A and B are shown apart, each in its own frame.
Chain A
Amino acid sequence: MKPLDPRLVRTAGAVRTHLAVSVACGVLITGLILAQAWLLARAISGAWRGEGLDTLGWVVGAVAAIAVARALLSYLAETSALHSAARTKSQLRRRLVAHVTGSGRVWTAQPGSDTDGGPPKAGELVTLATRGLDALDDYFARYLPQLVLASIVPLAVLAVVFWADWISGVVVLVTLPLIPVFMVLIGMHTQQRTERQWRLLSRLGGHFLDVVEGLPTLAVFRRAKAQAAILRRVGEEHRRATMGTLRVAFLSAFALEVLSTLAVALVAVEVGLRLLGGHMDYQTALLVLILAPEAYLPLREVGARFHASMEGVAAAEQVFAELERGRGAHDRRGGASGDADQDTAGEAARRTPAPPPATGRPAPAAGGDIRFEGVELLYPDREVPALSGLDLQVSAGEHLLLTGPSGAGKSTLLSLLLRLTEPTRGRISVRAPGGRWEPLDAVPADDWRLGTAWVPQHPYLFDVSVADNIRLGAPEASMDRVREAARLAEADAFVSALPDGYRTRLGERGARLSAGQRQRIALARAMCRDAPLVLLDEPTAHLDPENAAAVRTAVARLLEGRTAVIVAHDTGWARETLGGTLRTASLPLPTQEGSVSR
């Protein structure tokens, strides 16, 4: 981990401003430190020579002025640092959000999976963008200014001490460089150890969490009380392991501390003896004594603040890693499909004529027929395709019920129809009523989606009002339309019973509502979208019988006069509710050669 990440300087304009301000403040503070030392030495030696306040008055007065000036500088530096931290965090956050929501990202209609190839997950990204980046405050306000001071003050002090007394200068010159050397050594050493340590600590620390979380289970099996003894033993192991590391880690810090204090002591003794011998005057001796500790102080401080501030740097690094990771995955994906075989590349080229720009109107094709021909979808970094060899046709106005075992790619098929992802092989064609077959990717994705409504297995409700949740796909919808959609989705009664009716804010992930109510809001959302193609994913899977019954009624209304693809496990109700218009297709588990049985 670098003390100053060049990417941070490059990316965030606020960082450059902050560095400039810090350097300016650092130079001024260095000047004030030197001036104060000289003034103190001058005043003390003057008083020793017998001068009174009448001659020393200006010296004493200047010390007060310096105190005020340093206070002002400290205030300005801190304020500017927090200011810059706020701006940098905002800049990084916006880039992160733009990146993860950008078009390069692959979302899926699969519940609970975030298929962009591994970590980090959505929850981690939220933490990173908020609490993670907040650690930059310390980095900006505490660490960076100190780093600037640590690179200016020692050199300035060294120059002045050399000028005043070259022998003391040599002592400082010899010991000073040892400190960064030690720091690097300590850094390398502790980093290695702390990484190992961190794993051990998180395992031992995790044990407590594990046991507390599992307490109900332990209680059921009468093992709860016995765990206390194990907890004590693990705690003791934790302490011993940690102390073992700390004994060594502190040892290096000990060397650092001894070195800097001993250097000051050596300077003091050496200056004192030469003053005694008459080889030096009192004022110079005092100046050297006052300045010597100042040379080491910023270095020690910067070391002490290093670890606390590195959390912020680590967070920034994670942000950069995320920004670069996404880009890398994207490139790989492109490359993989190209290498796979010539056909795919050829097909891709045939498709390439970029779709015309979105018109902002639903695509007429969404109300027509859809045809899958040899469609395969292989997610990057996966061996087995999520869907393979799919041949299927959905005619306009038809209700198609998709069944098949877990992992057969039922939800993946919905992802393809939602244009959340593109097939890696084969083609999907669509035909507007009375029109000609055209490839799906020739239709602008936004226009296509305007013609679709989707009710996922676990619909996501946003922490905004109920009304805004319902008109998610139709922001201009009037309150009357929202209410009508809710009524048709069997949601009007419970929404009206909420404290603020349709204006009630739903809380994180719709926490105010039960699973069945959430499902009905999602159905209202689909009603409000008023799209010719409806995609339903296990609409009643996790509902108790009463809620499931209400959802079925709503689904029947939603599907009237629309084309629908329904993924469902429990097929009985669908046949019963939808009757004659229903056709069933079963998806087998995907293989390289798999195909759909009708």
Chain B
Amino acid sequence: MSTSTTVPADPGPVPGRERRRDPLLRMIALARPRGGRFALGVLLGAAATGAGVALLSLAAWMLAVAADHPPITALGVAVVATRALGVGRGVARYLERLVTHDAAFRTLADVRVRVYDRLAATEPFGRFRSGDLVSRLVNDTEATLDLLVRGLTPPLVSVVTGGAAVLFLTVLHVPGGLLLAAGLLLAGLAVPMAAAALSRGPGRRQARARGELSTALVDTLHGAPDLVAYGAMERQVERVNAADAELTRLARGDSALLGLGAGASALVTGLTVWGSLFLGVAAVEGGALDAVSLAVLVLTTLAAFEVVAPLPAVAARLGAIRAGGARLFGVLDTPAGTAPPTRSGLGTEGGATVRVRDLRVRYGPEEPWALDGVDLEIPSGWTVAVIGPSGAGKSTLASVLLRFRDPDGGRVEIGGEDVTAYPADEVRGVVSGVPQDPHVFASTLRENLRLARPGADDGQLWEALRRARLADEVAAMPLGLDTQVGTHGLGLSGGMVQRLALARAVLAAPRVLVLDEPTAHLDPDTRDAVVEDLLAAAEGFSTLLITHDLTGLDRVDRIYVVRHGRVLQQGTHEELSLQEGWYRDVGAG
């Protein structure tokens, strides 16, 4: 397979020492492969900023020399150099921006692939239940780009250019150089850090108030029909306004604190310029400095503060970037849910009988057992249903069968082989189906289907659609199989998504078909039709149907009732209907 050469191996478990490092440093480490480009960017940035400072220094020198009316040749080089700096600054800035952005985009691509590889290797799908978490993970990944473009280069540029300016002035006049060093450190480091620290309190206070406000707003807008129907809208709007008033009160109070940073920066800049003027004038009077150098000293100091201008904004963002990094690494450090395989070559031949023996699973050492000794058998070619209330452990059973996690006790055998010994992908060659909440990719219907069997031709795709009873609807679409679906295309109805997922499962043609809650989120009218189609399409497979809903159970070969992680009852629909017990109590029999 060509993929084996292009795909990097699983990055492997992350050592504990690495985990304890500052997420900011770990994010920067992600950029290390592009270090050369970033260094070039810093150099170009330093050249651009340096050219601005040097332009004013040189001009000051030129004027001071010209004031003594020397021959014009004394200024020749300076005139040319001044013009060169004027153009050079723009060129360097342009190149710097191109180089840093290019490096940042390359890093973003690297990081995306690393995040993805890690997720594909560890499959922390338990955490995927909240769609929010996924989009946050994606946002956090993008945040690395932000960090690199806006957070990494400016401080380094400031260090290089600021250092050069300080060095230059120290050669000219030691106290003046030291003064500039102190001023730059205060304005570029101390004030931004202090301001960022000061804003943390208001940030927390306001975040809480903002949370209240947004909860009240969510309640108002999503619960509007309920509020109107129960005549409670006015009271609810008052609740929103009260939350808004509280947030506004806090924000107004905090503005006095947040303005301090801006004031302190201006003060440090102004006083440093004043200090250099004072020191310089005194030094000229005392004969320690010549009048030409005085002009250079003061004007260089004045220009040098441009170097640290971007830093307060960087400091203000660091907190948010670090928090994003911590979340990102939190997901990446999750260990895999399955132990490494010890054998390979799970037979594609042989029986497809699934045997589950005394299966026990829990999600943590302190957690209750999600599955507590389940015994179950799916003989080759049978359709078996597992039913029970939500939280009974049904989906845990599906995730064990699909090798998303290892059992904590007991065995799962397919054709007599213990599945935990085999790589996940080999097991999924035998056991496949419709996962909970199947995803429709932003692509064509054809691509969405061929996912399950990359080489499939259109004839096979139509056959699968026909078995999932989706063929007529697709044929009615003007673009047929080329119809765009998913985020950027046609939104499919819940019933169509389930049928598409079913067609995919049929295409994959596993020997064991697992259908995990295929009717969740469907409205009652479509539900019956989908179950009907599912059971028809499942003919010829060994099928495990996991459901909380009782439609169509008279057509399966065997029913297991699961509750609190244990099998309560088992038998055919007819048998269970005659038995005392849960099945009859809930009205299925």
Q: Does B504 contact A (CB under 8 A)?
A: yes
Q: How far is the CB of A113 from chain B (nearest CB, A)?
A: 10
The 8 lowest CB-CB distance pairs between A and B, nearest first, are: A67-B270, A235-B109, A545-B586, A75-B263, A265-B86, A258-B90, A569-B524, A214-B439
A460: contacting residue among B109, B226, B388, CB under 8 A: B226
Q: Does A261 contact B (CB under 8 A)?
A: yes
Inter-chain CA distance A77–B425, complex, in Å, is 62
Q: Does A509 contact B (CB under 8 A)?
A: yes
A509: contacting residue among B62, B110, B222, CB under 8 A: B222
Contact pattern, A 527-562, Cβ under 8 Å of B = 1, otherwise 0: 001000000001001101111110000000000000
Q: How far is the CB of A292 from chain B (nearest CB, A)?
A: 9
Q: Does A196 contact B (CB under 8 A)?
A: no
Q: Does A450 contact B (CB under 8 A)?
A: yes
| Given A227-B116, A462-B223, A549-B586; A251-B109 close (CB under 8 Å) | no
Q: How far is the CB of B79 from chain A (nearest CB, A)?
A: 5
Contact pattern, B 237-266, Cβ under 8 Å of A = 1, otherwise 0: 100110011011001101110111111111
B134: contacting residue among A97, A209, A221, A549, CB under 8 A: A209
Q: Does B17 contact A (CB under 8 A)?
A: no
A-B contact pairs, 7 of them (CB 8 A): A48-B295, A70-B267, A100-B221, A207-B442, A262-B90, A456-B226, A545-B548
Q: Does B291 contact A (CB under 8 A)?
A: yes
Inter-chain CA distance A222–B521, complex, in Å, is 26
Q: Say which one of A80-88, A367-375, A482-490 lies at the interface with B.
A: A80-88
- Complex interface: chain B residues within 8 A of A56 (CB): 281
In the bound complex, do residue A94 and residue B244 qualify as a contact, i.e. CB atoms below 8 Å apart? yes
Contact pattern, B 515-530, Cβ under 8 Å of A = 1, otherwise 0: 0000001011110000
| Given A43-B277, A97-B217, A276-B69; A216-B128 close (CB under 8 Å) | yes
Q: Does A178 contact B (CB under 8 A)?
A: no
Closest to B79 in A: A269
Inter-chain CA distance A437–B576, complex, in Å, is 53
In the bound complex, do residue A406 and residue B120 qualify as a contact, i.e. CB atoms below 8 Å apart? no
- Complex interface: chain B residues within 8 A of A225 (CB): 3, 7, 120, 425
Q: How far is the CB of B180 from chain A (nearest CB, A)?
A: 15
Q: Does A494 contact B (CB under 8 A)?
A: no
In the bound complex, do residue B225 and residue A122 qualify as a contact, i.e. CB atoms below 8 Å apart? no
Q: Does A107 contact B (CB under 8 A)?
A: yes
- Complex interface: chain B residues within 8 A of A222 (CB): 425, 428-429
Q: Which of A411-461 contact B (CB under 8 A)?
A: 418, 420, 446, 449-450, 452, 454, 456, 459-461
In the bound complex, do residue B548 and residue A544 qualify as a contact, i.e. CB atoms below 8 Å apart? yes
Contact pattern, B 99-119, Cβ under 8 Å of A = 1, otherwise 0: 001100110111011011101
Q: How far is the CB of B477 from chain A (nearest CB, A)?
A: 20
Q: Say which one of A58-66, A155-163, A185-193 lies at the interface with B.
A: A58-66
Inter-chain CA distance A594–B111, complex, in Å, is 59
Q: Does A217 contact B (CB under 8 A)?
A: yes
Q: On chain B, which size bracket covers the interface?
A: 35 or more
Q: Does A591 contact B (CB under 8 A)?
A: no
Closest to A239 in B: B105
Closest to B261 in A: A78
In the bound complex, do residue A569 and residue B90 qualify as a contact, i.e. CB atoms below 8 Å apart? no
In the bound complex, do residue A219 and residue B274 qualify as a contact, i.e. CB atoms below 8 Å apart? no
Closest to B71 in A: A276
- Complex interface: chain B residues within 8 A of A549 (CB): 585-587
Inter-chain CA distance A238–B107, complex, in Å, is 12
Q: On chain A, which size bracket covers the interface?
A: 35 or more
Q: How far is the CB of A156 from chain B (nearest CB, A)?
A: 18
Q: Does B159 contact A (CB under 8 A)?
A: no
In the bound complex, do residue B125 and residue A229 qualify as a contact, i.e. CB atoms below 8 Å apart? no
Closest to A39 in B: B277
| Given A212-B134, A264-B86, A473-B232; A253-B271 close (CB under 8 Å) | no
In the bound complex, do residue A220 and residue B86 qualify as a contact, i.e. CB atoms below 8 Å apart? no
Inter-chain CA distance A125–B271, complex, in Å, is 47
- Complex interface: chain A residues within 8 A of B215 (CB): 463, 508
| Given A48-B67, A268-B59, A472-B226; A224-B120 close (CB under 8 Å) | yes
In the bound complex, do residue A70 and residue B66 qualify as a contact, i.e. CB atoms below 8 Å apart? no
Q: How far is the CB of B303 from chain A (nearest CB, A)?
A: 8
Q: Say which one of B21-29, B136-144, B534-542 lies at the interface with A.
A: B136-144
In the bound complex, do residue A214 and residue B274 qualify as a contact, i.e. CB atoms below 8 Å apart? no
Q: How far is the CB of B220 from chain A (nearest CB, A)?
A: 6
Q: Say which one of B166-174, B357-365, B366-374, B430-438 lies at the interface with A.
A: B430-438
Q: Does B411 contact A (CB under 8 A)?
A: no
Inter-chain CA distance A160–B480, complex, in Å, is 72
Inter-chain CA distance A86–B225, complex, in Å, is 30
Q: Say which one of A240-248, A328-336, A340-348 lies at the interface with B.
A: A240-248
Interface of B is mostly: helix
In the bound complex, do residue B94 and residue A239 qualify as a contact, i.e. CB atoms below 8 Å apart? no
In the bound complex, do residue A216 and residue B439 qualify as a contact, i.e. CB atoms below 8 Å apart? yes
In the bound complex, do residue B98 and residue A243 qualify as a contact, i.e. CB atoms below 8 Å apart? yes
| Given A545-B588, A549-B587; A514-B390 close (CB under 8 Å) | yes
- Complex interface: chain A residues within 8 A of B572 (CB): none
Inter-chain CA distance A420–B226, complex, in Å, is 10
- Complex interface: chain B residues within 8 A of A271 (CB): 63
A228: contacting residue among B8, B97, B508, B524, CB under 8 A: B8
Inter-chain CA distance A73–B269, complex, in Å, is 14
In the bound complex, do residue A254 and residue B120 qualify as a contact, i.e. CB atoms below 8 Å apart? no
- Complex interface: chain A residues within 8 A of B440 (CB): 214
Q: Does B342 contact A (CB under 8 A)?
A: no
In the bound complex, do residue A452 and residue B588 qualify as a contact, i.e. CB atoms below 8 Å apart? no
Q: Does B285 contact A (CB under 8 A)?
A: yes
Closest to B258 in A: A82
Q: Which of A69-124 contact B (CB under 8 A)?
A: 70-83, 85-87, 89-90, 93-94, 97-98, 100-101, 105, 107-109, 122-123
Q: Does A500 contact B (CB under 8 A)?
A: no
Q: How far is the CB of A133 from chain B (nearest CB, A)?
A: 11
Q: Does B30 contact A (CB under 8 A)?
A: no
A569: contacting residue among B51, B525, B548, CB under 8 A: B525
Q: Which of A474-521 contact B (CB under 8 A)?
A: 475, 508-509, 514-515
In the bound complex, do residue B220 and residue A101 qualify as a contact, i.e. CB atoms below 8 Å apart? yes
| Given A209-B134, A449-B231; A108-B225 close (CB under 8 Å) | yes
| Given A276-B66, A460-B223, A463-B219; A86-B504 close (CB under 8 Å) | no
Q: How far is the CB of B196 from chain A (nearest CB, A)?
A: 15
Q: Does A52 contact B (CB under 8 A)?
A: yes
Q: How far is the CB of A456 from chain B (nearest CB, A)?
A: 7
Q: Which of B279-324 contact A (CB under 8 A)?
A: 280-282, 284-285, 291, 294-295, 298-299, 302-303
In the bound complex, do residue B119 and residue A215 qualify as a contact, i.e. CB atoms below 8 Å apart? yes
Inter-chain CA distance A189–B52, complex, in Å, is 27
Contacts A221-B452, A545-B548, A545-B588 aside, 9 further interface pairs with beta carbons under 8 A come to A52-B281, A64-B270, A71-B266, A123-B218, A210-B486, A215-B120, A420-B225, A462-B236, A548-B586
Inter-chain CA distance A218–B121, complex, in Å, is 12
In the bound complex, do residue B226 and residue A546 qualify as a contact, i.e. CB atoms below 8 Å apart? no
Q: Does B354 contact A (CB under 8 A)?
A: no
Q: Say which one of A164-172, A281-289, A309-317, A389-397 lies at the interface with B.
A: A281-289
In the bound complex, do residue A40 and residue B302 qualify as a contact, i.e. CB atoms below 8 Å apart? yes
- Complex interface: chain A residues within 8 A of B94 (CB): 250-251, 253-254, 257
In the bound complex, do residue A266 and residue B86 qualify as a contact, i.e. CB atoms below 8 Å apart? yes
In the bound complex, do residue A420 and residue B90 qualify as a contact, i.e. CB atoms below 8 Å apart? no
B55: contacting residue among A77, A86, A265, A546, CB under 8 A: A265
B389: contacting residue among A52, A74, A101, A547, CB under 8 A: A547
Residue from B66, B79, B247, B435 whose CB has the most chain A CB atoms within 10 Å: B66
- Complex interface: chain A residues within 8 A of B271 (CB): 64, 67-68
Q: Does B83 contact A (CB under 8 A)?
A: yes
Inter-chain CA distance A504–B131, complex, in Å, is 26
Q: Does A351 contact B (CB under 8 A)?
A: no
In the bound complex, do residue A529 and residue B230 qualify as a contact, i.e. CB atoms below 8 Å apart? yes
Q: Does B414 contact A (CB under 8 A)?
A: no
Inter-chain CA distance A100–B240, complex, in Å, is 13
Closest to A457 in B: B523
In the bound complex, do residue B302 and residue A462 qualify as a contact, i.e. CB atoms below 8 Å apart? no
